[in-house]
Structure 1
Amino acid sequence: MEIVRAHELSFLYPGEERPSLDGLSFTIKEGEFVVLCGPSGSGKTTLLRHLKRELTPVGEGSGTIYYKGTELPLLPPETAAGEIGMVFQNPEAQIVMETVWQELAFSMENLGLSPSVMRGRLAEMAGLFGLEPLLYKPVHELSGGQKQLVNLASVLLLHPRLLLLDEPTSQLDPVAAREFMYLLRRLNEELSMTVILSEHRLEEALPLADRVLLMEKGRIAADGSPRGIVRAAGSGLGEEHQAYLPAASRLFLALSAAAAGPHGTIPLTVREGKRWLESAAGALSYWPGPGASPRAHKPSRARETLLECREASFRYEKDGPEILKKLDFSLHRGELTAILGGNGAGKSTLLQLMAGLLKPQRGRAAMPKGVTAGYLAQNPLLYFSHDTVSEELRHMAKHAGLSASEGEREVASLTRAFGLEGVLGSHPHDISGGEQQKTALAMVLLLRPDILLLDEPTKGLDPGAKEHLAELLQALTEDGKSVTFVTHDVEFAARYASRCALLFDGSIAAEGTPDAFFGANYFYTTAVNRMVRDRLPQALTVEDVIADWQNFVSRS
């Protein structure tokens, strides 16, 4: 039985020339697990907002959406609010109450549920999500990942039949993201809850999906099973779409192409990828050998310290727990440093301390005289106060003290670098999450800081945008800047960082080059490393394995 049907759905935001949705027609069956993927600005968020009636954006639209055979606008309010739930990309945008307890109870109170029913549901959900220690905490003290878990729990307390999720794992650490995804699968399998999930991080999502919709420019470019999408990406769909696939699938396509033809069943998970490599070793005449060469590193230059934390300790309240404990950490010129760690470990606090926005109660965080720092927070909406993206960039250039001509050149250069040409006339709140992230980063870069501190900069970015961001950050380090970013995106850190650090229990627990750092970790490592680490322990990416295979072939 179908639960959602869209017929010729189109939508145009005010002032835009290209529609965000362009004649979409599709059907989703009850109980399906559907993954939406595609470039930033392809229409994923706009489509999800149309499926949640209360969030339909303002603009010019046409076409019809049906929920269980009834046109969406004709549903009773309690049905639309209770049976269709949505978790936003930005957790801050969904929270309205002061404490976790109040936030969880708020949605149930709005539906008029009795106190006994509310307490029963809340007890069950708090136990499922492990929220008991957080129930009486102020929401503003939670990490971004904890807020996202509260948002999901708030939605599930209404017992929805259709669950819509917009980049829900973007602020979750790798372990929490994996648990979050499998929780969604449990809800889907055990309750037959229909799930429509928009994601750029498909490593965990794609193997769980029944169906994948790949969107481009407001249209559905491909619709099929996960393996069908992998097969299409490897044949006629285009190489640029391979970046959306799980690492096991990308390795399958890359090695199969190098060896002139696919061999075996397409793998989607680490386990399937490892088994495929073992079974295909004969056909490929290759399997990574023990003691293979480590990844090549750029020669290190003299490391000039631009910022130094020495025994820095910080707590938000006088009698509260210490978030940072006698932490020692330094930033150096020309380095691209990634800071990883679990949700609530204090990564954002450390970044704000290094930016000078917070002061340590003990110890110090100091920069040499004349060194400047620029800071990008997790929520890009904090940076917007004007009506268009163009105005935001021009006002920031003026604030940075650039002359009119110099400002225009800088704005034009950053606009090209981030691919923002198509949204310059748009309101910052109307563009996609990835485009908001790129706009906010461009604004920070206009300040020309010596140290760039970024909190989850890849959040909401598609694979192509991440590659462009990496090129820009690497160019900044080549120019002598120090760039440090907090991230849960292990793949991005492994591919591009020159140094990685793990924050745990208020201090830096481990740090080193990506191959040494990730090669020693069990969960905080890449999917490729988990597949081949027994024989190629320092390989982190598909490219590392392909390079080893090419070396193997050249030696044979």
Structure 2
Amino acid sequence: MEILATECLSFRYPDQDRAALDELSFSVNEGEFVVLLGPSGCGKTTLLRHLKRELTPVGTTAGVIRYKGQLLSELPAESAAGEIGMVFQNPDAQIVMDTVWHELAFAMENMGLEPAVMRSRLAEISGLFGLEPLLYRSVHELSGGQKQLLNLASVLLLQPKLLLLDEPTSQLDPVAAREFIQILHRLNQEMSMTIIISEHRLEEVLPLADRVLLLTGGQLRAEGTPRDMVRRVGEEQLWPHLAYLPAAARLFLALSPDIDRAAEAPVPLTVRDGKRWLQETLPHLAALERNNGKAATGAQEAGPHTQPEAAVMSCREVTFRYRKDGPEVLKKLSLSLYPGELLMLMGGNGAGKSTLLQLLAGLAKPQRGKVEMNKGLTAGYLAQNPLLYFSQDTVQEELEHMAHYAGMTEQTAREEIAALLGVFQLREVLQSHPQDISGGQQQQTALAMVLLLKPDILLLDEPTKGLDPGAKEKLAALLQLLRDRGMSILIVTHDVEFAASYATRCAMLFDGGITAESPPERFFGANFFYTTAVNRMVRDWLPEALTVEEVARTWSNSVSRS
């Protein structure tokens, strides 16, 4: 039974020449799990906001949206609010109350539910989500993962039929993200809840999908099952969309030219399927294991990672707490950043990564220990929430204002802004209000503003949050260019794939201190959850391989030798 349908849905933001949504027509059946794919700014968030009537953006809309056969615009307010729920990308954007208990009760109170009904639902949902120990805690004390679970629980208390999610795992660590997605899977399978999710983190989401909708430029580019999408990308050589596929599927496409395509092997989507496909299809895996055994042993026996040059920034024995009587967030933590390196700092939600970055940026002071930076150097800091950087009416005004603040001449400002617009592909949104663009575009705009200050050291808090795979590659190329010019970069991230591909060194923050730091191949090769999907598939044969490209290169060499 059809639960949702759009017919020629189009939308244009005020003063924009290009339509954000362009003649979109599709339908969703009850109980389906649908994934929205596409580059930043392609219209995913705009579409979801149209499906949640109360969040429809200001602009010019044409076309029709139907919910259970009825025009969405004519749906009674109580049905629209209760039956269609939405979870935002930023956990803080959805929380309105001071404690967990009050936040959970807020929506039910607004719907006028009886106290007995409210208590019953609260008891049920608190048990399901493990929220009982948190009920009386302040929402400000929760980690990002806990806040996102709270948001989902608050929506589910209204017992929606259709659940919309806009990149809900973008600020979660890998473990928390996996747990969050598994909850969505249970809701879909056990409650037959219809789910439409926009997501860039696809390793866990895509295998659960019944159908995929690929948007580009506000138009529906393709739709089908995940396996149909993989084969279409391979057969039609739609390489710009390759990065949207799970690692198992990308590995399948990368190695399939060397196997018998006529066999029509089932497309692997998960790590389990990928490993099984490798074992059953590729006869040279034993050779890979023999050829790489010595290298693997050497990696395990190598000593601690050392840097030959003096650090440009460091913290020594740093201890920090937010309140005198509060717990220590950081405990005698020591970490150094070296010239020209790209250090990526990882750890669970609430581990203290953002706090450490703020200390290094000089925005907070430790109670004990020292934070030092070489004389004459400057640091640029990008916070996790890009909205903190916006005060003007358009993206262009934001960039020009920052260039003026940096003391640039008008000519220099034009040249620098033009170069950054090319890197971040922001020309199409120059005249847009920063609040109206996508989360990924907001992140890119804020980073461009920081780069206009020409810092010697760059401190970035989740810079890939909300970015599509293509935008991540452009960001990586820019970071490499900055490093070539002598800049040192420290990034706090949950993006394991990005860190594995581009970091020169990785570090883990746990229990207030740095528990591990080493080059990516050693760092991720020793981890179980904090590692890439590729490594989990091939680590029995290639313990240090982290990316599809590394495996394909090794495989090609092995085949040529045999």
TM (norm. structure 1) is 0.97
**Is 1:276 the counterpart of 2:277 in the alignment?**
yes
Residue 371 of structure 1, CA deviation: 1.7
Residue 127 of structure 1, CA deviation: 2.4
Residue 357 of structure 1, CA deviation: 0.8
Residue 262 of structure 1, CA deviation: 6.5
Letter of the 2:541 counterpart:
R
SS at match of 1:35: strand
Partner of 1:445: 451
Partner of 1:469: 475
Work out the CA distance in 2 between the residues paired with 1:288 and 1:129. Answer: 43
Partner of 2:419: 413
Letter of the 2:414 counterpart:
E
Residue 10 of structure 1, CA deviation: 0.5
Work out the CA distance in 1 between the residues paired with 2:134 and 2:414. Answer: 48
Gaps of 5+ in 1: none
SS at match of 2:261: coil
Partner of 1:363: 369
Residue 478 of structure 1, CA deviation: 1.6
Letter of the 1:497 counterpart:
A
Work out the CA distance in 2 between the residues paired with 1:430 and 1:129. Answer: 33
SS at match of 1:185: helix
Work out the CA distance in 2 between the residues paired with 1:441 and 1:290. Answer: 45
Letter of the 1:3 counterpart:
I
Work out the CA distance in 1 between the residues paired with 2:149 and 2:262. Answer: 40
Work out the CA distance in 2 between the residues paired with 1:73 and 1:160. Answer: 18
SS at match of 1:271: helix
Work out the CA distance in 2 between the residues paired with 1:285 and 1:238. Answer: 29
Taking a change above 3 Å as real, the CA distance of residues 290 and 168 of structure 1, as seen in their structure-2 partners, is: farther
Partner of 2:44: 44
- Quick check: 1:34–1:213 contact (8 Å CA) kept in 2? yes
Cα deviation 1:315-338 (Å, max 9, x = unaligned)? 111111111001011111101011
SS at match of 2:10: strand
Work out the CA distance in 2 between the residues paired with 1:387 and 1:290. Answer: 61
- Quick check: 1:252–1:262 contact (8 Å CA) kept in 2? no
Matches within 5 A, 1:125-274: 125-236=125-236, 238-259=238-259, 261=261, 263=263, 264-274=265-275
Matches within 5 A, 1:279-358: 279-282=280-283, 288-290=288-290, 292=292, 302-358=308-364
1:544 equivalent among 525, 544, 550:
550
**Is 1:517 the counterpart of 2:523 in the alignment?**
yes
- Quick check: 2:287–2:558 contact (8 Å CA) kept in 1? no
Partner of 1:66: 66
Letter of the 1:139 counterpart:
V
- Quick check: 1:84–1:164 contact (8 Å CA) kept in 2? yes
Say which is worse superposed, 361-370 or 530-539, in terms of deviation.
361-370
Residue 286 of structure 1, CA deviation: 7.8
Partner of 1:423: 429
Q: Percent identity?
A: 67
Taking a change above 3 Å as real, the CA distance of residues 285 and 519 of structure 1, as seen in their structure-2 partners, is: closer
- Quick check: 1:288–1:532 contact (8 Å CA) kept in 2? no
Residue 92 of structure 1, CA deviation: 2.0
Work out the CA distance in 2 between the residues paired with 1:348 and 1:446. Answer: 22
Cα deviation 1:420-439 (Å, max 9, x = unaligned)? 11111111111111111100
Letter of the 1:69 counterpart:
G
Say which is worse superposed, 139-148 or 89-98, in terms of deviation.
139-148
Work out the CA distance in 1 between the residues paired with 2:543 and 2:30. Answer: 43
Work out the CA distance in 2 between the residues paired with 1:207 and 1:251. Answer: 15
Letter of the 2:142 counterpart:
L
Taking a change above 3 Å as real, the CA distance of residues 385 and 78 of structure 1, as seen in their structure-2 partners, is: same
Work out the CA distance in 2 between the residues paired with 1:310 and 1:376. Answer: 23
Work out the CA distance in 2 between the residues paired with 1:139 and 1:544. Answer: 43
Work out the CA distance in 2 between the residues paired with 1:427 and 1:252. Answer: 42
Letter of the 1:86 counterpart:
M
Cα deviation 1:71-100 (Å, max 9, x = unaligned)? 001111110001100001112221111222
- Quick check: 1:35–1:212 contact (8 Å CA) kept in 2? yes
SS at match of 2:40: coil
Partner of 2:400: 394
- Quick check: 1:390–1:424 contact (8 Å CA) kept in 2? yes
Taking a change above 3 Å as real, the CA distance of residues 300 and 122 of structure 1, as seen in their structure-2 partners, is: same
Say which is worse superposed, 190-199 or 87-96, in terms of deviation.
87-96
SS at match of 1:308: strand
Letter of the 1:498 counterpart:
T
Aligned length: 553
Letter of the 1:156 counterpart:
L
Work out the CA distance in 2 between the residues paired with 1:64 and 1:407. Answer: 44
Cα deviation 1:116-161 (Å, max 9, x = unaligned)? 2222222222222222333222222323332222111111111111
Residue 287 of structure 1, CA deviation: 6.2
TM (norm. structure 2) is 0.96
- Quick check: 2:188–2:194 contact (8 Å CA) kept in 1? yes
Work out the CA distance in 2 between the residues paired with 1:61 and 1:111. Answer: 28
Cα deviation 1:14-70 (Å, max 9, x = unaligned)? 111111111111110000000000111111111100000000011111001000111
Work out the CA distance in 2 between the residues paired with 1:15 and 1:373. Answer: 36
Say which is worse superposed, 367-376 or 152-161, in terms of deviation.
367-376
Partner of 2:302: none
Letter of the 2:493 counterpart:
T
- Quick check: 1:256–1:262 contact (8 Å CA) kept in 2? no
SS at match of 1:458: coil
Work out the CA distance in 1 between the residues paired with 2:524 and 2:42. Answer: 33
Partner of 1:527: 533
Work out the CA distance in 2 between the residues paired with 1:146 and 1:352. Answer: 22
- Quick check: 1:10–1:63 contact (8 Å CA) kept in 2? yes
Residue 304 of structure 1, CA deviation: 3.1
- Quick check: 1:415–1:421 contact (8 Å CA) kept in 2? yes
Work out the CA distance in 2 between the residues paired with 1:394 and 1:300. Answer: 42
Residue 103 of structure 1, CA deviation: 1.3
Root-mean-square deviation (Å): 1.7
Taking a change above 3 Å as real, the CA distance of residues 290 and 104 of structure 1, as seen in their structure-2 partners, is: farther
**Is 1:492 the counterpart of 2:487 in the alignment?**
no
- Quick check: 1:313–1:327 contact (8 Å CA) kept in 2? yes
Work out the CA distance in 2 between the residues paired with 1:451 and 1:510. Answer: 22
Letter of the 1:216 counterpart:
T
SS at match of 2:163: strand
Work out the CA distance in 1 between the residues paired with 2:72 and 2:31. Answer: 19
Work out the CA distance in 2 between the residues paired with 1:408 and 1:385. Answer: 20
SS at match of 1:204: coil
Letter of the 2:268 counterpart:
P
